[in-house]
Amino acid sequence: MLAIIGGSGMTKLASLEISHRQIVRTPYGEPSGPLTFGKIDNQEIVFLARHGHGHTIPPHAVNYQANIWALSLFKPKSVIAVVSVGGIRADLTPSTVVVPDQIIDYTYGRKCTYFDKTDRPITYTDFTHPFCLETRRHLLLAAEKANEKIIDGGVYAVTQGPRLETVAEVNRLEQDGADMVGMTGMPEAALAKELGLPYAAIAAVANHAAGRGTSVRAIPLEEVYAVLEKAMVSVRNILGHLVKINDG
């Protein structure tokens, strides 16, 4: 089974033949919504909309612990996180699709670990490679089979949100080595690593980050959503090919 977490621009999978939805209770509260089960090309899929039905849960308020725990109960072979980002690096232009390979975490106040109890020994999680190398390779192979252009690698800066960044903040992110900026990659990736889930992200570039691109003006949100939907067409095509690889 392949697990897919949909973010902004992907609150559902149009190609998913839904069999049922299931409400899952966890020790960490309720996930963003019911898990949706079904098939794509006869391959089993479980889907969760990160921001809930109607896209109502802001990035800092997502119950990442419950979401990842709920998906782990069904022992997926891989977890694919669909995220939208702003492009910092020059080649990460709007509508580009990229598979990041590193993360810098700028979030705060989020419940970021399953090992926060004092009644057991401290557990340290190796986060050298935040994304599963094999799952990343499968995403890149799926893009090749789908004849979709994709960029291999990039540093994903995760900010708190829900506001967007200032030009000065993006300048700092770039100086830190970030290539793109979004709001949902952490603690999601770290929690998946703690539970031993093979997790990788596929990022759709919705817009230039603040101060980047040919114009420094703020881009109207309706334009951002239009670009994001264009990128999501490619993402859905890639995921459609990924399910066959994941089943192999």
Q: According to the annotation, is 113 in a ligand binding site?
A: no
**Amino acid identity at 69:** W
In one-letter notation, the amino acid at residue 70 is A
Asked whether residue 107 is marked as a ligand-binding residue, the answer is no
Find out whether 97 and 233 touch, Cβ atoms under 8 Å.
no
CA-wise closest residue to 35 among 19, 47, 51? 47
Q: Is 209 annotated as a binding residue?
A: yes
Q: Give dist(CA 109, CA 187) in Å, integer.
A: 10
**Structural tokens at position 199:** 């997790």
55 marked among binding-site residues: no
Helix (H) or strand (E) holding 222, with range, is: helix 221-247
Classify the C-alpha dihedral 13-16-21-22 as positive or negative: negative
Q: Residue 50 annotated as binding? A: yes
Neighbours of 153 (CB within 10 A): 12
201 is known to lie in a ligand binding site: no
Where do the DSSP E strands lie in the chain? 2-6, 17-22, 35-40, 43-49, 78-87, 97-99, 102-105, 151-152, 155-158, 180-182, 199-208
> Any binding-site annotation on 184?
yes
- To the question of whether residue 180 is assigned a binding role by annotation, the answer is no
Element (H, E) at 136: helix 133-145
b/e for 40-75, b at 16 or more Cβ within 10 A?
beebbbbbbbbbbeeeebebeebbbbbbbbbbbeee
Residues annotated as binding site for substrate? 183, 207-209
Residues annotated as binding site for phosphate? 8, 50-51, 184
Residues annotated as binding site? 8, 50-51, 183-184, 207-209
